[in-house]
Amino acid sequence: MLDVSRLLLLGLVAGLLYVLHRRQSRDPREPPLVSSRIPLIGHLVGLLWHGLPYFDMVTAKHPHPICTLDLVFSKSYLVTSPPLVQAVQRNRKSLSFDPFVSMTLERMAGIRGPVLEQFREKESGGQGLGHDVVHAMQPTLSGRGLDVMNERMAQMLRPRLDELVRLPTIDLFDWCRRVITAASTDASYGPLNPYQDPRVEDAFWDFESHMSPLLANFLPWLTARTAWKGREAAVAALVKYYELGGHEEGSELTYVRWKTMHDAGVPTEDIARQEVSMAIGLLSNSVPATFWVLYDLYSRPDLLAEIRAEVREHAMRVDADQRHIVDISALRDQCPLLLSTFQEILRTRSVSAPTRFVLQDVLLADQYLLKAGGVLNMPAASVGRTTETWGSTADEFDPRRFIKSENKNPRRTGGFMTFGVSPVICPGRHFACSEILALAVMMVLRVDVTPVDGVWRVPPMNAQAITSSMRPPKEGIAVRVTPCQDSEGVEWDFEVKAGTGAFNLMVG
Ligand code: HEM
């Protein structure tokens, strides 16, 4: 009988032979191969070490319109030119996002066996339920469903902002995480929201912020213990939520997702697993995006003063009871500088790298052969910041870049990739934009914030939080909070006008 060490050795040799065979079978029409300093495993190690910005580091050094990275077990084609992004968009059948959904359900959510095959995309022999769930939920994130979520979100934000005024110092990132988690999950799950329990909230963030070893899917309870334990605790809390009928009182989003899976015969535990992966969509970008909006506003006092004045004049009113009311839809419609600054922050802080799987061999733009089984990424920091798209100031922070005027049209194809690239555009962007702007605006109107050590220092990024494309920091920043003089003793509230929730900002 073979012992374990011999089996491992055999596995290693087989793996090496496979990798060498794949390298030799490269077609000369494939995009140029970029070598790494450490042979064979260099790019894989780089990606695990640096997270998504690794793609930008590679493309900055190798300015090809498209190149190939060997990631040992798969090939990644990195697209860096806007015309090639358009060619990717034209090949939507062969270059598909759908396998990404089933991959994350397997590796991230821990769904296996026949249920995984139910979720898997039809092109790969599955029953396509993953696609059906996304399709069913999309309308719930606009229209009346969105209005209800926005109302609940605003109700949750207000008391937390009232409380902030009384806190002398906070960790800015941790504070954003607590507040956005509370507001987003309450809006989504309703009165029985399982994330109201701080243990479940912490378990979710353990899962999210230690994600990359979990995705390797190799003995996850051992090799990715923190993420695995966190996920299992969140799954158990969601199972209880469904058993108590929490989804009957939650948002349309949560109900429709549950119904689509339940009607297809998915067991409750797997519905809960799917839902934990949904919380990644709900939170993992909104939290760091809120942090960066606050960081980029408070660290630019002149811009902050202009934005405060604009909001006071166009999106805030004082009612008969002297309450100061911020109208969320007016932030979008009446505050061009705020809206432009917001988009510029998203443009400059995003490290999104929209993904497509190569389902069959494709000759991209009649020139580059992409082989079936490969993965394609379009890193925002390269494609989304080219001078051909944004002009000579592409690398600069220009808060007025997105202001529309007669002689300036900020809409450019393939340039703004924070919310993905058509046809895969984030369906939660309307909710995210209202939430982030509502929180940031009410905060800047009510308090001043300065770093405790006196300097705004960019914190290092958490590379293990690989599902977030908004540079989640690894450590927070301690800041001092001082109430603004003219806002003290004043009561504040939000106004959410029905039917105005859509933030149709620029997308790629
Ligand atoms: C600032 C906040 C957000 C950012 C930057 C963001 C970004 C993105 C991006 C880039 C994608 C496409 C992924 C790819 O092509 O690889 C995406 C997809 C998605 N997002 Fe968001 N997102 C945000 C907030 C949200 C929220 C609040 C929700 C839920 C309410 C959400 C739900 C989703 C879902 C379900 C998908 C998958 C869509 C599909 O499969 O077609 N996102 N998001």
Place of tokens 């910041």: 385
**Which residue in the block uniquely carries the two structure tokens 């912490």?**
202
pLDDT tens-digit readout, 50-64: 888 899 889 888 888
In sequence order, what DSSP letters do the residues of 361-374 get, joined into one string? -EEETTTEEE-TT-
Residue 287 lies in a domain: yes
Residue 55 in domain: no
Residue 1 identity: M
In single-letter form, the type of residue at position 344 comes to E
* Bond prior to 423 in cis (omega within 30° of 0): yes
DSSP H helices in 244-334: 246-249, 252-263, 268-283, 286-298, 301-314, 328-333
What is the average pLDDT score of the chain?
Answer: 91
Ligand 1 mean position, distance from CA 356 (Å)? 15
Would residue 66 count as lying in a domain?
A: no
Pocket residues: Cβ below 6 A from ligand 1? 97, 101, 134, 141, 281-282, 285-286, 289, 352, 354-355, 418-420, 424, 426-429, 431-432, 469-470
**Least confident among 84-98, 195-209, 271-285:** 84-98
Whether 437 and 332 have beta carbons less than 8 Å apart is answered as yes
Peptide bond into 53 cis (omega under 30): no
pLDDT in tens, 438-468: 999 999 999 999 999 999 999 999 999 999 9
Whether 116 maps to a domain, the answer reads: no
Burial label, 394 (beta-carbon count in 10 A; 0-12, 13-18, 19+)? middle
Pair of tokens at residue 487: 């806002």
Residue 380 tokens read as: 């925002």
Q: Comparing C-alpha atoms, which of 437, 425, 441 is closest to residue 500?
A: 437
Is residue 484 part of an annotated ligand binding site? no
Mean local confidence (pLDDT), 154-159: 96
- Which CATH number do you get for residue 207? 1.10.630.10
Which structural domain, as residue segments, surrounds residue 455? 129-495
Asked if residue 19 belongs to a domain, the reply is: no
Number of domains in the chain: 1
- Cα separations in angstroms, 295 against 437, 479, 482: 13, 10, 16
Residue 38 lies in a domain: no
What burial class does residue 141 get, using C-beta atoms within 10 Å of its C-beta: 0-12 exposed, 13-18 middle, 19+ buried?
A: buried
Give the chain's count of helices (H) and strands (E).
23, 15
CA of 284 to the centre of ligand 1 (A): 9
Q: Distance, CA 464 to ligand 1 centroid (Å)?
A: 18
Q: What is the pLDDT of residues 308-363, one digit of tens each?
A: 999 999 999 999 999 999 999 999 999 999 999 999 999 999 999 999 999 999 99
CB-neighbour burial class of residue 30 (10 A; exposed 0-12, middle 13-18, buried 19+) = middle
Q: Can you tell me which atom of ligand 1 is nearest the CA of 352?
A: 10
What residues form DSSP beta bridges with 174? Answer: none
Give burial (CB, 10 Å; 0-12/13-18/19+) of 59: buried
Examine residue 107 and state whether it is found in any structural domain, yes or no. Answer: no
| pLDDT at residue 198 in the model | 98
Q: Which two tokens stand for residue 489?
A: 């003793």
Has residue 496 got a pLDDT over 80?
A: yes
CA 188 to chain centre: 17
Token pair for residue 507?
A: 């997308």
Would you say residue 413 lies in a domain?
A: yes
Q: Give residue 189 CA to ligand 1 midpoint distance, Å.
A: 18
Q: How far apart (Å, rounded) are the C-alpha atoms in residues 431 and 429?
A: 5
Q: How far is the CA of 281 from the centre of ligand 1 (A)?
A: 5
Q: Which of 283, 285, 351, 357 to mutate to test the pocket of ligand 1 (most atoms within 8 A of CB)?
A: 285
What is the band of 208 on the pLDDT scale with cuts at 50, 70, 90?
A: very high
* CA end-to-end span of the chain: 56
| Closest ligand 1 atom, residue 253 Cα | 30
